Amino acid sequence: MDRRRVVVVAYDAAELLEIASITSTLESANWHGAAPYYEYRVATPGGHPVTTATALTLDAQLTLERVTGPLDTLVVAGGIGAENAAASPLIVGHVRRLARESRRVASVCTGAFVLAAAGLLDGRRATTHWGFAQTMADRYPDVVVDPDPIFVRDGNVATSAGITAALDLILAFVAEDNGDELARTVARNLVTYLQRPGDQAQMSMFVEAPSPANSLVKRTIDYISAHLRDDLSTAALAVEAGVSERHLTRLFLKHLGQTPGRYVRQVRTEAAAHLLASTSLPMAAVAVRCGFGTAETLRQAFIDRYGVPPSHYRLTQAAG
């Protein structure tokens, strides 16, 4: 069987963990498949070693300027050096050239800036690390930037969120290329999920931003987390907090960027995701425990936030 040629584009201050997530996933697929499936190489400008974002030096196997197609997959890594890479005519020009000779093009994290600079994301939906999404949207108005998903596929171009989201994206490629069984084996070997839905939110209650400085808001969100089954309407929360509904809403918008009702729905949905992945509770029981009342209400909230029904989410987590 012919190997699929994969080229990973790296540059100074690229993120080493992203590059390793790509290559380690492909190497695991080679080890566990019936035959080697992927021939992966790292290409850098001039073929020179690069100093990664973690100050470790990474050797290249290929000179970016000399790489020719056809390629199966072209992947641009991200990292704190991505903005400089996106401003480099050499890097952008050769990424644009190689994209025309590749079956599939992808980026990890801020590597999306390089694809955008090359015009490869114009008119497409794309994502990047949530912390850089607004900058990307402002800088490249022709790109439809969605800051929420772990990864996005639009035609033959894929973009992913930060760092370990590379695992989710490359596992999806392995499944697409070689079937779900090999992808499940690779996921187990890497001790990771197979696979988080691409539309799963980058941020969850487990890695959320720091608690708000406002003591009343903090006290209210602590109450919400501890009373998911209870009445958590804005009116009920206002009574619990000892303020008017209008004042509570104003505080939530200022410190959390959303209304109390929207925040409650988010926390309940994330709690349901945790139970679906970690327990065998029936769907109706998960719905009740998280305050949705019915499985159908849970289903609608789950699709709104993650883009997939809870039953599908549970199956993908169990498979990992």
- Residues carrying an active site annotation: 109
* Residues pairing with 38 in the sheet: 4
Q: Are 197 and 313 in contact (CB under 8 A)?
A: yes
Which residue's entry shows tokens 């600079």? 117
Task: Report the alpha-carbon distance of residue 182 to residue 193 in Å, rounded.
Answer: 13
Query: What are the DSSP E strand ranges found in the chain?
Result: 4-9, 38-44, 50-51, 57-58, 62-63, 71-76, 102-108, 125-126, 144-145, 151-154, 157-160
The DSSP bridge pattern shows strands 151-154 and 157-160 to be antiparallel
Query: What are the DSSP E strand ranges found in 197-312?
Result: none
What is the three-state SS of 179-195?
CHHHHHHHHHHHCCCCC
Residues 77-88 as b/e (b if ≥16 CB within 10 A, e otherwise) read bbbebbbebbeb
Q: Are 167 and 190 in contact (CB under 8 A)?
A: yes
Rounded alpha-carbon distances, angstroms, from residue 259 to 184, 221, 228: 39, 12, 17
